[in-house]
Amino acid sequence: MERDQILEKIKIIVVSVLEHDDFDMKDELVATDVSGWDSLTHMIIITSIENEFKIKFRLKELNKLKNMGTLIELVQSKL
């Protein structure tokens, strides 16, 4: 799957979980810059991504995520 397609799908998930699209979907995006993306919603977003792409993350991989770019790369590496 193309990187842009992954990015678009992740964006749809984030918007549906957080109920707003008040963020700029780019590689440098970090959770703390997005209103409502906190510890509680993080795991809901992660689970939704797993279900959407039919993949499974490992906790260690999630701990190493730095920003949206690394998340997209991680998803891509599992497809």
Partner 1 sequence: MEFTSFSFAIFLPIVFLLYWFVFNKTYKTQNVLLLSASIVFYLIADWKFISLLAASGFVNFWLAKIMIQKEDESFGRRLLFYLGIVFNVGILLYFKYLNFFIQSFVTLFNYNDAVNISFTPFHILLPLGISFFTFQMIGYLIDVYNEEINPTNDFLSFSTYLAYFPKILSGPIERVQDFLPQIQKKREFNYALTVDGLRQILWGLLKKSVLANNIMVITDSIFNDFHSMSGSTLFMGAILYSIGLYADFSGYSDIACGVSKLFNIKITNNFAFPFFSTNISSFWKRWHISLTSWMMNYVYTPLSFITRDYKKVGLILSINLTFLLVGLWHGANWTYVVFGLYQGLLFIPLIFRGSALNNNELDVNKFGLPSLGDFLKIMRTFLLVTLGMIFFRAESIAQASQIFLEISSSSFFSIPTIRPSYLFIIILVFLLVEWAGRTQEYAIEKLWLKYPKVLRWGIYYVIAMIIFLFGGKEQEFIYLQF
> Rounded to whole angstroms, how far apart are CA atoms 79 and 32?
27
Binds partner 1 by CB under 8 A, chosen from 3, 5, 8, 20: 20
41 binds partner 1 (CB under 8 A): yes
Residue located via tokens 């703390």: 32
Of positions 1, 26, 28, 47, contacts partner 1 by CB under 8 A: 47
Structure token pair of residue 60 = 């260690």
Does position 38 interact with partner 1 (CB under 8 A)? The reply is: yes
C-alpha count within 13 angstroms, C-beta hemisphere, residue 9: 18
Among the listed ranges 1-9, 24-32, 39-47, 69-77, the one in contact with partner 1 (CB under 8 A) is: 39-47
With beta carbons less than 8 A apart as the criterion, state whether 18 and 34 touch: yes
Binding site for partner 1 (CB under 8 A): 17-20, 35-36, 38-44, 46-47, 50, 59-60, 62-64
